[in-house]
Amino acid sequence: ADARRALAGNGLELHYQPVLDMRQGGFGSVEALVRWNHPLRGPLAPGAFLPAMAEAGLMPDLDRWVLRAACGAVADWRQRHLPDLKVAVNLTARSLEDPGLAAMVTAALEESGLPASALELEITETMALLQIQDPASILAELRARGTRVAVDDFGTGYSSLSYLRELPVEVVKLDSSFIRDLGRRPRDSR
């Protein structure tokens, strides 16, 4: 019931994590991260509330809310003072199974005025491999509409690099476990 109220009211908020561009200096994009400011429990990270939203069947509504809010905010920032800013939005497995996903993305872009080239849609490696019937065709449709597609948390599952060639993705984000201890163990440097 609380999750439904959060979606209907103003309980959810987006935080924007800057993505640094080491070649250009500074940042040119942000990643939208949803948080729930629960009236009794305070700010909640996704791990604390996404299972409840999934159980209540609210993930499509949450994805739609995040996508619309992120596109709207970034379109506004682009008009005001950051004309080249881009945004990354995570998609859930439920969204990738929805035949109306491409239409939902298009509607959010049109409503906000954000160009498709300024939107990056992220899926997790596990989602691409295990949960979706045909991720390549779904992702290809999104790319055909002008959005960028990324695989997030690569290395947490059991995929191989050869599988990435089959997916129409432009960005691969390695899981932090790959680089956390880089350079500390001699065998990792080989």
pLDDT at 99: 80
- Smallest CA-to-CA distance from 74 within 23, 20, 125, 120 is with 120
Residues of the chain where predicted confidence (pLDDT) is lower than 50: 131
- Report the chain's mean pLDDT, rounded to a whole number: 81
Number of H helices, E strands in the chain: 9, 7
pTM of the model: 0.81
Is the distance from CB of 147 to CB of 108 less than 8 angstroms?
no
Burial class (CB in 10 A: 0-12, 13-18, 19+), 60: middle
Give every CB contact of residue 62 below 8 A, 6+ residues apart in sequence: 7, 12, 34, 50, 53, 92
pLDDT tens string 53-72: 888 888 888 999 999 999 99
3-state helix, strand, coil in the chain (%, to 5): 45, 25, 30
